[in-house]
Each structure stands twice: as structure tokens, then as C-alpha cells.
Amino acid sequence: MSIKAFELVPVIERIKLMSEKAKTQLDCIDVCGKNLYIGTSDCFVVHYTIEERTQPSGKVTFHCDKIGHKYLALKKPIVQIKSASALNRIMVLCDNTVSMLNMLDLEPVMGGAKIKGVNCFCFNENPQNSSPFSVEICVALRKRQLQFYTVTEDKFIHLRDVSLSEPAVELDLDSPFVCVAMTSQYSMINTDTGYEQSLFPYDNENSRPLIKRVGKEEFLLGGPSALGMFVTSDGISQRPPLQWSDNLASISYLHPYIIAMNDEFITVHSILDQQQKQTIPFQGGVYLENFDGKVFIASGRAVYSLVPVAWEKQVQALLADKRVTEALDLAKNANKSGLSRDKINKIYKRFQQQAAFIEFSQQKFEEALELFKSGETDAREVICLYPKFLPSNSSFTRCAPPLHEIADINQLCRGNEDLIMQYKDFLCSYLEEIKGTKLAVGYKQEIDVALLKLYAELNTEGLIPLISNDSGCDLNDCVEWLEKYKRFHALGLLYRLHSDHDKALGIWQKLANGDITDESFPGLPFLIDYLSNLSDHELVWKYVDWVLSNDPEAGVQIFTNRPASEPPSERMRPDTIIDYLHQFPEAVISYLEYLIFQKKLEKEKYHTHLAVLYLDSVLQLMKEPNAKKEQIDIARSKLRHMLQMSSLYRVQLILGKAKETNMHAECAILYGKLEEHDKALRILVHKLKDYGAAENYCMVNSNGKDSVVRKRLFHALLNVYLDPSYEQKDQLIKPAVELLNNNVADFDTVKVLQSLPDSWSVHIISQFLSRAVRKSMNLSRNTRIERMMSRGENLRVKQTSIELQREFVTMNDDRMCAVCNRAFSDPTFVRYPNGVVTHVHCAKNRHVCPVTGKLFSTKQS
């Protein structure tokens, strides 16, 4: 596919020759700066100066002046001209001889430095000697040899030779590698090692060899069947070949283009994709070369320049043809000399944006997505293609010059609903990917509003999380859209986001009542949770009655799940709430449980109130003929737990009601609270016959108290078992024995033996007696050990005391206090273990010497 990469511009339209009649023509040229040198077929070297001019219209023209000419008098054509500006010299190959001329006056260099027997030569762009006052050349000799020379102003200095298998007729150099065309094949020469690698043959009868360096250690060669073959220094090809025309005369390279010329056309191929990009008619071409980034072409009588079309224009032309890949490859690899990196990046990103919209228009959504992101496209440029998706208050206008010619997606889809949905799915994916990244900075509202509208229309799961989090969704833009697609729960969340809690609650109330429907609404628990965290207490009370009427058990969470950091208020005082909840028995019980068991409030009225409600609940169940035993047991279990756990309720009030209904287990707990343990135990043993509960009663009521209380309770229980006045006393012998043999029970052995009936044998209580003996012996042994340890400690203290008192202290009128240095006027004094004697009032710390600061033992003697 074609593109205009170059324009052919005349430089010298007709060479001014020595004689108009002379049958002469141009054979080779060289350009150095503004100097152009021409070698002719009749041994003339002609010097011109050229000046490139750019017209206001952007058109490039050249102005030339002939400076001079020189006849070399060899009667042979000039084959090569190479200029060395550092030396102010040009090197000319004529009659197989390389000689030097002065660049300015074209006169031969004094001394007549020459190299004979030369087929061709080239400059070494990577010489070993980097002196600015010399150049290095490689010469192909007729005698199967390459020679390297250092060239100075007046001489050729021979460096080294490299032998060849055949004479070279063409070469190019990327030191240390030389690619040469021999008489019938191409070879790669490593000049460091002398290794010669054969590449491939060529037809020397029907084509001329072509070699051009195109990159580091990479060359382009004219191959068989009009193919351009890329070859590296390793002898391999890393790019597909070019398909050229036949009978090429010359090739050149100006990144990223390969330029080739035959006797009819100039063709331009891209090195990026190896495709032909341009064809320029040009007859009679004899020479083509790139001179420092400028391509010149010569015919037999004229010189032209291939002026590159600005790379930006080339890319724009490719984009206009919708050749996106080619355009971006060219934009990435084009020669961008003279531009800063920031400017290049800015231009390239704009091309990426244009390419993205081209892919977008062709439904290549995956490619468009990547280009939108890599080109850092303003998200609003994409959103604005979707009617009504930008916020109504947005002042966005498309960039100028425009990135595309798309009006909107309706223009692209032409009523195709499936295609419209594909475009909306694409926008959804694109916005989701850039949301939260640097590409979304500054466009939060536009992106969130567009996503909300997409989610609402497409019924996507992302709608609720979008609104629930910190989003930039505008209320005015989104309410109508959410109502249109019946996303009522999301609408409530949007009102909440904008702190319009009353409207949010009104919508959720309708959803809970079934007046409107939305599958995404979580139900009444969501509304309850919302109210429990709402700081507007007046608004909370507005909806409490409705919630509790629907579900009193769950609705009470509005009061029990309040935030811990919420400041107290009159509307949320416990007494206020309890007074209100009386109309909802289940709710008031749950709230009192919350106050007592979670908040740990120790107010008698709350504890009594809950105990009464528990008791009333049990009594109510007991009156119902259809009440299940399991329900009654659960209710009584809660009551007993409350009675046992709390000590703040009014015991007598509860006891009076419990006694009326023969609630023996509860009465036992209440008697225990009144310290009437005998009554409690008799109920458990005689009424309920629950001996395990009786033992547990002793454990619970002695918990946290000393062993005396514990023993008293267990003795009371044993006395109940052994009460001779009880009619069924024989039935209590077994639990009495089990109590005595229980490891948990605690007794005074002597008292137990005194209380046991005379009829009991030793065998019955053998286990109890064994344990009592072991316990007594253990206690006795421990007591003896403690007594002996105390005696040893007493002896140690006595020894220390004797040792301390063995030394006498002399006190006389001359003895002074070690602290204040005054005499002792009182017979009392303090002596420290290190011998320091002080007044009593000077001894601030009995364990620390006031003079030396030495610390003595603080252990009590």
C-alpha cells in the first residue's frame, strides 16, 4: 500500500559541462555539507555549492552555483568520489587508482599520494584510530586483497592487509566486519580474525552486486530473483527479504526506508514491514546515496534530492487510510531529529489517540482499549460519543484539531441494537480499567456518572459498589436514570451518598413494603442496620414504629447496635426507649438483655424488669395448652440464668410470684440469694429430687468465697440427706454416700462422723474415710515441713543478729554523726552494716548508706 514518503526535488537540472558538444555524462557524486562534487565519464571532477531553501508553503527548493572543475587527464571515467571534510580533501577513484584532491580548488595533493590497483573503496565509520585529523579507508584491490589505510592530509599510511579468496568488486564496512561482493558471490569478512564466510551467489552477468549497511553489523544485499536480502555479521538473516524490481543500479538507506533505483523507477520500501511504500518514475538514474541524512540521486545530466515528507504528514496520511499499524510503526521509528523527547512523546500520543478512535470505529475494541490507555486519551473524548453520558454540568468540548470525525455511536451503529450494546460494553470495560489510575485524575465525576448510567442500563453488579464507595456521581444527572431503569436500591444509596437520608429511607421503606421492587435490595435487615448507624435521631424515631411493627425482634437492633462512639442524647436514653418498647414485648426483652448482658448496666429497675418479663413469659407459656415442653424449658432456662447471674433484682418480688406457681428450681435460686440455703437445698432434694443440682448449688453459691462457706453449704446438703424426719429418708442414703465420696465436695471430717447414723458401716464410707485420712496426713506433713522451714529461717535470722551484735559500738563525746558531723546528744543512734553511725533523723533510708550510697538487703528479718 502506497504512501508519499519522499518528494523528488531538482538540485542541478543540467550540469554545466566544459563543452555543450562534449559527449559526457555524470557517473558519481558526493555531498559534504553545502559542497557537491560530480565525477564525469570523461575524467572531470566538478564542484558545486548548493543551498536548500524552504518556501513559505513548505516546499523545498535548491539553489546551486558552480565553483570549479578539474580534468584529471586520465581519459577514464570517475568511478567514486568520497569527501573527507576533516582533512579538507576528496578521494577520487579513477583508472583503478585512488588519489587525493583539495576540496576547495580541486588541485592534486602535493606528494602525489596514490593507491593503485583498486576496484573500489569505502570509509571506515568505526576506525581503531579515532584521531580527528585522519580517516580510515578500506580498499578492495584487484589482486584478491583488502587493505586498510589511515589517510592524512598528504599521505596514505598502510595499516594491514586481509586476504580474499576472490577479488572484491563491491564492499561496505561496519568494523571489524566487511561485507564484500566478489566476482560471483557475497562474503562476510572478519578483519580481526581474517575469517571469510560465504553468504550466497549472485548473477554477475545480468545484475550488478549491491551492498548497503543498514544497522549495526547488518547489511542489505542484492540477492537472486530481485530480492533484497538482510544479512548480519553472523551470516544470518533476521528480517524477511524485500521484493525489488529487476536491474537495480543503486540502493540507499534512510531510516526507516530502503530506497532502490533502476533505469525506470525509484522504489521506497519500509524496513519495518518490508513492504513497498512509494514508486517514483525516474529514468536514466546512475547514482543514489544518503549523505548525512540527505538522499541525492543523479542521472546522466542532472542531480536531484529525495526530500523526506515530514514524518508527521506520513503518519497522518496512513491514519487517513486507516492503516493504523503502519502509522504507529512509522511514528515510533521515524527519524525525529530536532525534536525534544517531550515533544516527540506528545506527538506520538496524539497519533495513538487518533489510531484508537479508528479502531473504535471499526469495532476493534481490544486494540482500541489498549491505544486509549497508552495514548492517555482524555476519557471525556470517549464518553462524549455516548449521548447523555456526560454530566449535564460538564463544560467539555472536543479537542481541536479533532481526533476523529465520529459524531456519536449512533452514527457508527446505524440503529443496530446489538452493536450499540457492544459499544456500551466497551465503554464499561474502558472506564473500569482506568478508574483509580492516573488516566482518571481530574475526571472522577465524568467517569463515575458514565459508569453509573452504564451499570443501571446493563444491570451490572458494579452499580451498588460504585455508589456505596466514595463516588463522584451527581444527584441531578443520575436520579432520572436510576428511576428509568428501576434501580431503586441504588437510588436510595445515591441519596445516602448525598446525605438525603429521609429520601433514602422512604425508598427503602417502599421496597420493604413491596410497593416497588428491586432484586438488589437486601431487605429489612439492611434498613435496620442503616437506622442503627444514623446520627439523626429524629429521623430514626420517624421509622422505628414501622420497622418494629414489621419485625420487632430484629427491629430492636436499631437501639442495640448503636455506634459505640455515639454521644448520649435524650432521645436515645434507655428509659425513653424502654417506655416506648412496652408495646413490643419481644423487643423490650431484647433491649433489656442488651443493657444487662452487653452494656453491663447495674440498675435494679432494669434487672427486676427483665426478671419479671422472663417470669411472665414462663407463666404465659405454662398457661397455654398447646405450648411445647421445649419452649417452656428454654424460657425457664433463661429465667434461671438471669436469677442466678444477677444480684440486683428485687428477690422477694420474684419469689412471691414463683412460689404461687410451684416453680421450685427458680425458688431454690431465689432462696439462695436470700442466704436461706437450707430451704433452697430442701426444694432441690425433696421437691425436685435433683441431687446433681443440689451439689451444683453448693458449688455456685460458694464460688469466690472461703472454704468455711463451702464446707457449711456441703454440710447443709448432707444434713438434708440425713434428716431423720423426712419420710423417704431411705431414698437419700445413696445420694448422701455419693456426696461424701465426691471429690468436689468439701467437709469437716469430724463433723461428718458425728452426724452419720450409727447404723452405717465403715465400708459404706470407706472411700470418704480414705480420702479424709490422705488429706489429713498430707495436711500434717505440709504443716511439719512449714514448721521446719520456719525454724530454719528463725535460726538464720538469729545467726545474723548475733553476728551483727557481736561488734560493739563505742559512743562518747568525741563520736560524730557521719552525715551531719555533729555530736550525739541522745543515746539513740543508727548503725549501718558497713559501720557508719548516724543520728536517727539523719538516716533517711535504713537500707541505703547515707555516706557511701551502698544498698543493703531489703528482706525482712
- Tens of pLDDT, residues 253-288: 998 899 999 989 999 999 988 899 999 999 989 999
Q: Report domain extents, the chain.
A: 6-309, 807-861
Average pLDDT over residues 658-673: 87
Q: What is the mean pLDDT of the chain?
A: 89
- Tens of pLDDT, residues 689-730: 888 888 888 998 888 888 888 888 888 888 888 887 787 877
First to last CA, the chain: 111
The SS3 call for residue 818 is coil
Ranges assigned E (strand) in 483-578:
none
pLDDT for 572: 92
Examine the pLDDT at 335 and tell me if it is beyond 80: no
Average pLDDT over residues 11-16: 81
Average pLDDT over residues 320-342: 84
pLDDT for 735: 87
Comparing 110-114, 156-160, 463-467, which segment has the lowest mean pLDDT?
A: 110-114
C-alpha cell at 160: 594491514
C-alpha cell at 690: 435433683
Per residue in 105-136, is it b (16+ CB within 10 Å) or e — as a string?
A: ebeebeeebebeebbbbbbbeebeeeeeebbb
φ and ψ at residue 29, rounded to 5 degrees: -140, 165
Q: Are 136 and 125 in contact (CB under 8 A)?
A: no
pLDDT for 861: 45
| Amino acid (1-letter code) at residue 362 | Q
Comparing 323-337, 352-366, 445-459, which segment has the lowest mean pLDDT?
A: 323-337
Examine the pLDDT at 18 and tell me if it is beyond 70: no
Question: How many residues appear in the chain?
Answer: 861
H or E, element range at 179: strand 177-182
pLDDT tier for residue 182 given thresholds of 50, 70 and 90: very high
Q: Are 482 and 419 in contact (CB under 8 A)?
A: no
Q: Are 93 and 139 in contact (CB under 8 A)?
A: no
Average pLDDT over residues 618-630: 89
Average pLDDT over residues 485-513: 93
Most confident of 201-205, 209-213, 341-345, 843-847: 209-213
The DSSP secondary-structure symbol of 683 reads I
pLDDT for 332: 86
Q: Are 81 and 125 in contact (CB under 8 A)?
A: no
> What whole-number percentage of the chain has pLDDT above 90?
56
pLDDT tier for residue 17 given thresholds of 50, 70 and 90: low
**CATH assignment of 807-861, given 3.30.40, 1.10.150, 1.10.20, 2.30.29?**
3.30.40
- Tens of pLDDT, residues 534-592: 999 999 999 999 999 999 999 999 999 999 898 988 889 999 999 999 999 999 999 99
| Whole-prediction pTM | 0.65
Average pLDDT over residues 510-534: 93
Examine the pLDDT at 745 and tell me if it is beyond 90: no
The DSSP secondary-structure symbol of 494 reads H
Examine the pLDDT at 1 and tell me if it is beyond 70: no
Long-range contacts of 329-334 (CB under 8 A, 24+ apart): 329/270, 329/272, 329/273, 330/256, 330/270, 330/272, 333/255, 333/256, 333/272, 334/255, 334/256
- Tens of pLDDT, residues 217-262: 999 999 888 899 999 999 999 999 999 988 899 999 998 899 999 9
Domain 6-309: give its CATH code: 2.130.10.10
Cell 468439701 belongs to 746
Q: Are both 6-309 and 807-861 of the same fold?
A: no
The DSSP secondary-structure symbol of 857 reads P
Average pLDDT over residues 68-72: 91
Q: What distance in Å separates the CA atoms of residue 535 and residue 753, rounded to the nearest whole number?
A: 69
Q: What distance in Å separates the CA atoms of residue 330 and residue 255, rounded to the nearest whole number?
A: 10
